[in-house]
Amino acid sequence: MQTPQPVQQPDQIHATVLLDRSGSMNSLREQVITGFNTFLAEQRSSITNAAALAVSLMQFDGQEPFHVAIDALPAAEVIDLEWADYKPRGSTPLLDAIGRLIETLDHRIADPSHADEEQIICIITDGAENASTDFNAHQIKELIEARTEAGFAFIFLGANQDSFTAAETLGMQRGNTRNFAPSGPGARRVFEEVSGTIAQQRGRTPEERLFQKDELLAARIPEGELLGADPPGQEPTVRRHRLPELCLAPESSTSSRQEP
């Protein structure tokens, strides 16, 4: 009599982008949208022997501390962001957003079909916490440290602050933290690094991914580098790229994505 074999779960990574949608991000709105869409396009491309990828996008601001824009869809099925899908406004409830995200991910991995899925969380913000009401820094630090011990990888990319101090205060690893310039080139570089980092992880074995997970950015970017900053003596970068007309449509136009 043949003994049934346990079903082998697919090798999958779940990448979640937790994106600041506060008012100060408005000057970066175009570059954030194009950067995220470029990230999607690169992840849809075939990577030899790569782990499967599910993508989530969560946004946060003072009016809505946790908005689920994309909920764990296979990368190939995610629709590009349009202009109306990202509307910066309000303040920065960063702690509440992280706390809600961790609760959401805990619920996801409680499902046996996702229990072995590897979690990469990319936090992108251009300012410090200033509006949370449900979680404090100590609570978030405990949550992040426990999830890191369980195998989660947290990436912190910040502008207008000492990102290393901010991340370490919340229990995140220095090797997964970098600063970016609060500019169009800075925002574009952020998504280039997010995409490259995730692509590298997808191409590694599970053992290699676990070994590397706390040094994902350290392997790619010198610690002192300000992402998107112009080299000394060079004229400021002139922005030449614009969104496709579809993305620049008036905000009243119809979008296939639910309005925040």
Mean pLDDT of 242-247: 36
What is the model's pLDDT at position 46? 64
Mean pLDDT of 138-159: 98
Domains (ranges, CATH) in the chain? 16-225 (3.40.50.410)
Asked if residue 123 has pLDDT above 80, the reply is yes
DSSP structure class, residue 67: E
Three-state SS for 16?
strand
What is the model's pLDDT at position 40? 97
Mean pLDDT of 134-146: 98
Q: Is the model's pTM score more than 0.95?
A: no
pLDDT in tens, 197-206: 999 999 999 9
Please state, rounded to an integer, the average pLDDT across all residues of the chain.
88
* R_g over Cα of the chain: 18
Q: What count of other Cβ atoms lies within 10 Å of the Cβ of residue 96? A: 20
pLDDT in tens, 210-234: 999 999 999 999 999 999 997 655 5
- The larger pLDDT score, comparing residue 92 to residue 10, is at 92
Provide the residue type at 193 as one letter.
E
pLDDT in tens, 67-120: 999 999 999 999 999 999 999 999 999 999 999 999 999 999 999 999 999 999
Asked if residue 162 has pLDDT above 70, the reply is yes
How far is CA 223 from each of CA 19, 21, 102, 217, 247, rounded to the nearest angstrom? 22, 26, 27, 9, 34
How far is CA 251 from each of CA 43, 82, 87, 88, rounded to the nearest angstrom? 28, 10, 9, 12
Read off the pLDDT band of 49 (50, 70, 90). confident
